[in-house]
Structure 1
């Protein structure tokens, strides 16, 4: 009787990451065996964290609107499965956006993404963005581009906590393939009993006071609090609101009728639940539920990065360079959680394995 033929390894996937930021999506893809060959971003502050954590990838500083499909195609190796990935800046569609003041020019970036898909026709496409994009004209146009190019498409809103990120973060995820059918990533930590908690994520980090920076990790830095906010955080309980405070500590805006229901600020996290969604202002105690569960301070930049599912040793600042808090908070808050990138990679490899008879585990087991 003939022995069964062992399944061969899948062809390599090579990815180009548009709007790569500090490399959250790239990092997640790479951990699951995808070779990320380049990241593109207009923000020069992204270059050090991207290149320091992805030494085999090229960082291209520039406007994606000036990039051509021919340039991208030249980067992929012959025979590789080509993946074009990205998260176009999402401020116009964010629930935090003031629609009267958002930069509508940023809407064009999704169009540029679609243009590059048309010009270089990658085998695979993935996009991550805010749920508010769903149902909008720019998203419908993007979908139409993919379907006209005969991609199989799957998309939907997922929660990063269901994929192992210690954070409640709902995101629109899209995967598309010219090779055949593709599915959204399958959750690995679905349901509250399986979520990674604040305690799991940051319970091991050194204690800090407000305004203190850890000697061993410059990113473990907590913003200084005003004397009034020091009183407020001491009066706050995990999961509570400013309504728990003595009346003398309540802000004037919350005393007015228009502010009585604005309870999503000046809050402490809870040890045994995931963190709330990290924003570009997540290092500020007064900007959301960003108070440490126990220590009387807002979360540090390192803690914010860990909640985004970056590893503890992810490099954001060059040695002996100052930590620019406002810039790094923005970059961390805008990042794609690497755990979502890992989930996308597993989904893409599974679809390839189903179509080609290859062994998906040989790629997805590349890193744990």
Structure 2
């Protein structure tokens, strides 16, 4: 179902909507209404179109059903029909376009050598902008969108946007800077043709910072009940961790708690017997690179590593629980990705649920983006504490005012200086 515009809310259309990570942030902001979403539901290359099942997850949390369509083959007349049928010929307020990052991401070493065909979807955003004429465009992707070997796709889009009168802000950030309990480096793009110009997350957070303790794995998931591999919590069917074979369980049990890696097996009795053939080759070559993260445990006192699409197996990254001998559950991984506690998942398999999480724009971040976009429309900057998404690990009290911190630091320095002067005077009196 696609909504026809009936309200005075600011209208939003979401391209490559996935599980709804970007849409959710705008849906939960009272000023916006999602009127359409589109996604081809592409799973693994071997599974083909429609197998990912992300549209089921989307409609379980947002009251529309995305249109299942391959956005690489949408033509102008089809977009013009969307403008006529949904927007009644009016201009769109906000367009979200988050093409797949798989072709840009440095996680695939081939992306430094070959230009993936999916990267051209960035440029195809131009036709949606040209026809729907949104006041604001938002885009999120891997950092290589702006800094990689094939960043010319974005430069071409930017040139088109600026020709159409948009002011464009594009930057790369570690998202734990904004409260996400995960070290996730992403490119964020906001373009506006409104008279007030463009604003950004940097503008929103100017003068503020998040307490480091607020972005740790411990803060985010330590309160969830213990479960075993292959077990599902009765009170939350998404607090489920896949079963593992005996070799994987034995290997994980031997890896030290709280941040340990398979490389620690080198120093344990019978540790070599637990290594896979690939691990033994890395040890022999003494060349580990990023491979220690494979079969690694998360650390309680640090943010999670980047949660990627294929996070449904401990052999794909540092996705094991800090203490329990299992993969982090769907619920735990979702919380680390900034989804609120009440979020529901579909998609036909637990593996697809993990893919929905890894592919998503973190809602904790998209909620902040929604406030930035509303600021662009109204000219009124929101209170930073109002930009915290309820149900996530970030709390309003986790936000620190840098001005107050600096004032406190200066007061401490002044106190220390005064005490030093007093001690010096006392010493002179004693010497006299």
* TM-score bracket relative to the smaller structure: 0.7 to 0.9
Q: Does 1:162 align with 2:182?
A: no
Q: 2:241 is matched with which residue: 222, 246, 254?
A: 222
More helix per residue: 1 or 2?
A: 2
- 1:193 equivalent in alignment to 2:226: no
- Measure how far apart 1:351 and its partner are: 2.4
The alpha-carbon deviation at position 366 of structure 1 amounts to: 11
**Deviation per CA, 1:311-339, whole angstroms, max 9, x where unpaired?**
22211128xxxx51222222211011001
- Conserved? CA contact 1:32–1:365, under 8 Å: no
In the TM superposition, residue 169 of structure 1 has moved relative to its aligned partner by 0.8
Equivalent position SS for 2:66:
strand
Instruction: Name structure 2 gaps, 5 residues minimum.
Output: 1-7, 42-49, 391-432
Please give the alpha-carbon distance, in whole angstroms, between the structure 1 residues aligned to 2:314 and 2:133: 45
Larger RCO (CA under 8 A, 6+ residues apart)? 1
Match of 2:197 in 1: 181
Contact 1:222 1:300 in 2 (8 A): yes
Q: Are 2:101 and 2:142, in contact at CA under 8 Å, matched by a contact in 1?
A: yes
Q: 1:127 aligns with which of 124, 134, 139?
A: 139
| Residue in 2 that maps onto 1:94 | 105
Two-structure CA RMSD over aligned residues (Å): 2.6
* Corresponding residue number in structure 2 for 1:113: 125
Q: Residue 74 of structure 2 corresponds to which residue in structure 1?
A: 66
Does structure 1 conserve the Cα–Cα contact (< 8 Å) formed by 2:226 and 2:324? Answer: yes
Aligned to 1:39: 37
Given that 1:32 and 1:366 are in contact with CA atoms closer than 8 Å, whether structure 2 keeps it comes out as no
Q: Would you say the 8 A contact 1:53–1:314 is kept in 2?
A: yes
1:158-210 per-residue CA deviation (whole Å, 9 max, x = no partner) reads: 22222222211111000010003212213498456254221222122221111
Residue 17 of structure 2 is aligned with which of 1, 4, 20? 20
Comparing 342-351 with 59-68, greater Cα deviation is found at 59-68
Determine the structure 2 residue equivalent to 1:241.
Answer: 261
Deviation of 1:59 after TM superposition, in Å, equals: 1.7
Distance 2:381 2:263 in 1: 55
1:244 and 1:313 mapped to 2: Cα distance? 37
Which residue in the other structure is 1:7 paired with? none
Deviation at 1:258, TM superposition (A): 6.7
Return the offset for 1:42: 0.8
How far the C-alpha of 1:24 sits from its partner, in A, is 0.5
1:260 aligns with 2:272: no
In structure 1, C-alpha distance between the alignment counterparts of 2:175 and 2:248, rounded to whole Å: 31
Structure 1: gaps of 5 or more residues: 1-10
Normalising by structure 2, report the TM-score.
0.74
- Rounded to whole Å, the distance in 2 between the matches of 1:66 and 1:344 is 27
8 A Cα contact 1:161 1:195, kept in partner: no
Number of aligned residues: 348
CA contact (8 A) 2:140 2:186 kept: yes
Residue by residue over 1:326-362, the C-alpha shift from the partner in whole angstroms, topping out at 9 and shown as x without a partner, is: 22222211011001211211211222332xxx5756x
Over 3 Å counting, the alpha-carbon distance change for 1:274 and 1:77 in structure 2 is: farther
1:81 deviates by 6.1
Question: How far has the Cα of 1:303 moved from its partner?
Answer: 1.3
* Matched residue, 2:229: 210
CA contact (8 A) 1:14 1:37 kept: yes
- Any idea what SS the aligned residue of 1:92 has? coil
Q: Relative to structure 1, is the Cα distance of residues 367 and 244 closer, same or farther in structure 2, using a 3 angstrom cutoff?
A: closer
Distance 1:96 1:350, change over 3 A: same
Number of the residue aligned with 1:4? none
Q: Does 1:151 align with 2:154?
A: no
Q: Do 2:91 and 2:134's aligned partners in 1 also have CA atoms closer than 8 Å?
A: no
- 2:45 alignment partner in structure 1: none
CA distance in 1, matches of 2:139, 2:116: 20
Provide the residue aligned with 1:353 in structure 2.
378
Q: For residues 76-120 of structure 1, what are the alpha-carbon distances to aligned partners after superposition, in whole Å with 9 as ceiling and x for unaligned?
A: 378786100021011110111242798833123212212211222
Distance in 1 separating the partners of 2:295 and 2:277: 14
Q: Rg: which structure is higher?
A: 2
